[in-house]
Amino acid sequence: MTFGGEPSERPVVTRLNPPPPRRTRLSEQAGLREVMARFATGITVLTAGGEHGHGMTANAFSSVSLEPPMVLCCVSRAARMHAAIEAAGSFAVSILATDQRELARYFADWRRPAGLAQFDPVDWEPGPRTGAPLLGGSLAWLECELSRSYEAGDHSIFLGEVVSSSCGVAQDALVFYGGGYYHFDKQARATA
Ligand SMILES: Cc1cc2nc3c(=O)[nH]c(=O)nc-3n(C[C@H](O)[C@H](O)[C@H](O)COP(=O)(O)OP(=O)(O)OC[C@H]3O[C@@H](n4cnc5c(N)ncnc54)[C@H](O)[C@@H]3O)c2cc1C
């Protein structure tokens, strides 16, 4: 692995089993997808409330700051969710549990109905602070006021100040890795 900077400044990283030479360049989209697929994440459903009510499966989600409490999510500018968050000025995050794989699929499928009708087959309730749908049975929920947004390539980064948060009774996370859904197995906890 090589890094920029003067030779004396470069960290030395030794890999025990060097991979075979790659033809794909990191800057190529397929290469970036392949690399990011090796980063295991949880899965969320982002929602916006009000007349532009909408939901979307997302794993580009991260904690940003504890004081003040802030999170971010990255949303494609081609997605209906993008306009929904901008119109609402707020969003909510439902962190999915192991048994919510079908919800992840549903909210990633463009054929679902528009508006609040898309929540008809789903157990949900409006968030007390934003009115954005919170999905029943999730691991945890956050409600955020949209603080700032940044254009970033074909996505926008939405920075949200957390105004409400709570945890559910479910304990086991739904995990996305290598393009597939996995159950999080607490029994398989790494001990080494
Ligand atoms: C595990 C997982 C994680 C994801 N994480 C993210 C994330 O972090 N951020 C993110 O932005 N997306 C993410 N997605 C993708 C996102 O969930 C889907 O694209 C979802 O459908 C977007 O919902 P939407 O209603 O907001 O946008 P949609 O209206 O569904 O549009 C999404 C895309 O579908 C296309 N589309 C719309 N209508 C049609 C049509 N009739 N025919 C063909 N194509 C059409 C649009 O052009 C657009 O490119 C993720 C998906 C999965 C499965």
pLDDT tens string 19-73: 555 555 545 556 899 999 999 999 999 999 988 899 999 999 999 999 999 999 9
C-beta of residue 132 within 8 angstroms of C-beta of residue 88: yes
3 lies in some domain: no
61 lies in some domain: yes
Q: Which two tokens stand for residue 114?
A: 């528009």
Domain containing 51 equals 41-188
82 lies in some domain: yes
CATH number at residue 58: 2.30.110.10
pLDDT tens string 145-182: 999 999 999 999 999 999 999 999 988 999 999 999 99
Ligand 1 contacts CB of residue 174 (under 6 A): no
Ligand 1 contacts CB of residue 81 (under 6 A): yes
For ligand 1, mutation pick of 56, 94, 176 (most atoms within 8 Å of CB): 56
Return the CA Rg of the chain.
19
Task: State which H helix or E strand residue 156 sits in.
Answer: strand 155-167
Residue type, 122: V
Largest distance between two CA atoms of the chain: 60
Q: Say how many domains are in the chain.
A: 1
